[in-house]
Chain A
Amino acid sequence: GDSVTQMEGPVTLSEEAFLTINCTYTATGYPSLFWYVQYPGEGLQLLLKATKADDKGSNKGFEATYRKETTSFHLEKGSVQVSDSAVYFCALSARSNDYKLSFGAGTTVTVRA
């Protein structure tokens, strides 16, 4: 079935460090790909998305590129801040099952001052 696999955490970084969270997917066809973020005590919110191959989503200094050849959608940020401490979820919606989002297990990121 359609699924996403993301790197396990937790990840702990110092401020201004480079962040990468790996996400790979399994799906038939051409899925839409998303990164959601959950700050402590809150619901999830969309961070960025890409709907076709080679698209780059970006928001708040975060970027991710839809790579069909490697079935990946890795999240990157060049210089993290303490406020980026959160849980990050990769998600997929396959064309064959439009109504649903399949989420990865989430990666907890903690940024230290």
Chain B
Amino acid sequence: DAGITQSPRHKVTETGTPVTLRCHQTENHRYMYWYRQDPGHGLRLIHYSYGVKDTDKGEVSDGYSVSRSKTEDFLLTLESATSSQTSVYFCAISEDSPGQGGEQFFGPGTRLTVL
């Protein structure tokens, strides 16, 4: 199994509070991704990174920011959490880009509830 962990695994927070989710990998893979999973929507990309300090927006990036200061860590921050951000968040890593057939390895997920 790819060495990828997410923390925390579960979190309950209140509307308006900041929240940071952490993804940590031990594989030294170049690419890292944050997705959210909601019923009926599959997985939607929030942000991704193609190297240290190199990040870009995905399809649902509003209300989220990311940082990657080290190869192994990719942080997702909700600046001011809203109830619409209640979801399961998955981190993924890959050595090669998916356009070149690269496999993405997924973490176990973080279940976030915003009250």
A99 touches B56 (CB 8 A): yes
Beyond A43-B90, A93-B97, A105-B42, whether A99 also contacts B50 by CB under 8 A is yes
Measured CB to CB, the residues of A under 8 A from B are 31-32, 34, 36, 42-46, 49, 51, 89, 91, 93-95, 97-101, 103-106
A100 touches B58 (CB 8 A): yes
A44 touches B97 (CB 8 A): no
Starting from the known contacts A100-B98, A103-B42, 11 additional A-B residue pairs (CB-CB under 8 Å) come to: A36-B104, A43-B90, A43-B109, A89-B43, A91-B98, A93-B98, A99-B48, A100-B48, A103-B43, A105-B40, A105-B41
A89 touches B101 (CB 8 A): no
Q: Count B-side interface residues using an 8 Å CB cutoff.
A: 26
Beyond A49-B103, A100-B48, A101-B104, whether A44 also contacts B43 by CB under 8 A is yes
Residues 75-115 of B contacting A (Cβ, < 8 Å): 90, 92, 97-101, 103-109
A104 to B105, CA, bound (A): 17
B74 beta carbon closer than 8 Å to chain A: no
Residues 47-72 of B contacting A (Cβ, < 8 Å): 48, 50, 56, 58
- Shortest C-beta distance, B80 to chain A (Å), equals 26
A2 to B22, CA, bound (A): 29
